[in-house]
């Protein structure tokens, strides 16, 4: 059932909602939250469709806020509020209010939305496109316990990630992070199956995809190892390779559907890693409304270390750096193992071909110990990356680097170079960095030396 209201008020909209629910015979309200969608006219249909699909798992009142910009200066001073009220089959399992704000009222959307919120229910604010730089300080964002953005929809995704890190507040999250939940769960489960030490890792994905960057940051943050970022043709995230003390671990998804998990001395297995619809991502984010500390840690850890991969992107200055190796000498710019640093082989969004790697000071001796937190977040799978303080059993926490292995890895590093090595040229997904004679191989990277469990 649909009801159109022209030049109306929030009070009249509430009355129309009650009247419409009584008309269809469902006066009781069984909704668990209010979802506020802030979008434009172009993207309103797709966003509302995704919200209605997600409401089958989370019955909610959906309020769509569309700010209509008047063409003439005279019309911009005239405030008007039009609304469309939907209940029943037209609104999923809850009810829907579509608000169109004209003139000066568009600058005070929160005063219109506030009377329409469900009482004593959490509020989630979602920006499908054009999210503010600081969602928590936005007048509409301040109404919500949870604020959902999507950096993939931004014109410059990496700049968007950097802004998210600078302005992060508990309750912020991003659908680019939600897209990699199955990958994080699968990688954590793979490491649970072997008793090994992770030495280095590489993440391959399409060029303009913030999910690939976030996964690389998460691996570097959790594992405290050198992580390379490579470019592939996509779609999305294609491959993660981890070099461990017992052999390589590879998770490869060539076409956005099934993926292949390869472990040393184990048969290859096919796993489901399909690209999910926006409604599925939104439903996952609505399952838990507490702050996602894992997302915050990964986001803050790696944003400032993505500069080397962005040297060709507009508005980003090229960066090259060398890092001090464990033996006291300098390693090549694209290969030094920083403290969980994300190094680019010239493969971040906005880069054209190869770019300089970005590293942070410290080699094997700087790779300190630390807890490895859960792979989950709000609505994420419960599989965890082992290696927390209590980490008994196989996995990340059980692998403790010996002094002898650290010394052998340090001896395997190339001799000190007087300056930063030139950036390599990125080839296909399987040949990233080939041709750079001064870049050490993953096997030459110093291992992670973790503190023993007391």
387, 450 in Cβ contact below 8 A? yes
Per the model's pLDDT, the better-predicted residue between 287 and 345 turns out to be 287
At residue 247's C-alpha, the angle toward residues 244 and 251, to 5°, is: 80
At residue 304, the pLDDT reads 59
**75-79, 122-126, 306-310: which has the minimum mean pLDDT?**
306-310
At residue 151, the pLDDT reads 93
295, 173 in Cβ contact below 8 A? yes
Instruction: Summarize the confidence of residues 3-31 as an average pLDDT.
Output: 86
Per the model's pLDDT, the better-predicted residue between 325 and 75 turns out to be 75
CA distance 385 to 141: 32
Residue 340 scores a pLDDT above 60: no
Q: What phi and psi values does residue 100 have, to the nearest 5 degrees?
A: -120, 120
Per the model's pLDDT, the better-predicted residue between 350 and 185 turns out to be 185
At residue 257, the pLDDT reads 82
**Where do runs of H (alpha helix) occur along 347-402?**
none
CA distance 200 to 197: 9
Among all chains, which residue has been given the structure tokens 């730089």? 133
Residue 72 scores a pLDDT above 80: no
**pLDDT band, residue 9 (cuts 50/70/90):** very high
Residue 37 scores a pLDDT above 60: yes
Q: To the nearest whole percent, how much of the chain has pLDDT over 90?
A: 41
Residues with Cβ within 8 Å of 369's Cβ and at least 6 positions away in sequence, in order, are 224, 449, 450, 451
At residue 76, the pLDDT reads 64
Closest to 94 measured CA to CA, from 103, 102, 85: 85
Query: DSSP assignment of 188-203, as one string?
Result: HHHHHTS---EEEEEE
| Selection from 20-24, 228-232, 292-296 with the highest mean pLDDT | 292-296
Residue 135 scores a pLDDT above 90: yes
Residue 317 scores a pLDDT above 80: no
**Average pLDDT taken over every residue of the chain:** 72
Residue 360 scores a pLDDT above 80: no
Show the tokens assigned to 87.
């209940």
At residue 175, the pLDDT reads 96
CA distance 6 to 84: 9
At residue 228, the pLDDT reads 87
At residue 74, the pLDDT reads 66
| Selection from 50-59, 303-312, 341-350, 372-381 with the highest mean pLDDT | 50-59
pLDDT in tens, 232-256: 887 889 999 999 999 999 999 988 7
**pLDDT band, residue 262 (cuts 50/70/90):** very high
Residue 355 scores a pLDDT above 70: no
At residue 170, the pLDDT reads 95
Per the model's pLDDT, the better-predicted residue between 284 and 333 turns out to be 284
At residue 27, the pLDDT reads 64
CA distance 50 to 277: 8
At residue 396, the pLDDT reads 34
pLDDT in tens, 153-166: 988 888 899 899 99
């Amino acid at each position: 059932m649909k009801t159109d209201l022209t030049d109306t008020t929030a009070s009249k909209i509430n009355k129309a909602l009650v009247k419409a629910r009584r008309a269809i015979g469902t006066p009781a309200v069984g909704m668990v939250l209010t979802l506020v969608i802030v979008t434009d006219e172009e993207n309103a249909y797709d966003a509302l469709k995704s919200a209605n699909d997600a409401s089958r798992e989370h019955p909610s009142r959906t309020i769509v806020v569309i700010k209509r910009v008047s063409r003439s200066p005279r019309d911009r001073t005239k405030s008007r509020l039009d609304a469309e009220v939907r209940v029943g089959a037209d609104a999923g399992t809850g009810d829907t209010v579509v608000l169109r704000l004209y003139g000066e009222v568009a600058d005070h959307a929160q005063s219109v939305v506030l009377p329409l919120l469900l009482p004593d229910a959490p509020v989630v604010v979602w920006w499908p496109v054009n999210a503010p730089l600081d969602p928590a300080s936005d007048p509409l964002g301040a109404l919500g316990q949870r604020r959902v953005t999507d950096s993939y929809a931004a014109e410059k995704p990496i700049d968007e990630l950097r802004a998210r890190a600078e302005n992060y507040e508990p309750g912020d999250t991003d659908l680019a992070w939600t897209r990699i939940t199955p990958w994080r769960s699968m990688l954590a489960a793979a490491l649970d199956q072997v008793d090994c030490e992770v030495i280095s890792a590489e993440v391959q994905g399409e060029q303009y995809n913030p999910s690939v960057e976030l996964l690389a940051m998460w691996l570097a943050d959790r594992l405290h190892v050198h992580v390379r970022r490579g470019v592939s043709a996509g779609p999305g995230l294609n491959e993660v390779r981890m070099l461990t003390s017992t052999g390589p671990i590879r998770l490869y998804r060539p076409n956005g559907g099934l993926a292949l998990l390869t472990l040393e001395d184990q048969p290859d297995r096919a796993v489901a890693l399909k690209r999910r619809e926006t409604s599925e991502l939104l439903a996952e984010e609505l399952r838990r409304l507490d702050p996602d500390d894992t997302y915050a840690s990964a986001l803050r850890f790696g944003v400032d270390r993505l500069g080397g991969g962005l040297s060709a992107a507009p508005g980003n200055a090229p960066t090259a750096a060398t890092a001090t190796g464990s033996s006291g000498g300098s390693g090549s710019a694209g290969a030094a193992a920083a403290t969980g640093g994300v190094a680019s082989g010239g493969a971040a969004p906005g880069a054209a071909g190869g770019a300089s790697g970005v590293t942070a000071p410290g080699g094997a001796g700087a790779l300190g110990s630390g807890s490895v937190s859960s792979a989950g977040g709000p609505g994420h799978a419960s599989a965890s990356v082992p290696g927390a303080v209590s980490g008994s059993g196989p996995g990340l926490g059980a692998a403790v680097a010996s002094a002898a292995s650290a010394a052998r890895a340090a001896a395997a590093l190339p001799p000190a170079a007087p300056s930063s090595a030139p950036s390599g040229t990125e080839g296909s997904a399987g040949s990233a960095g080939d041709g750079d004679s001064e870049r050490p191989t993953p096997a030459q990277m110093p291992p992670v030396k973790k503190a023993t469990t007391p």
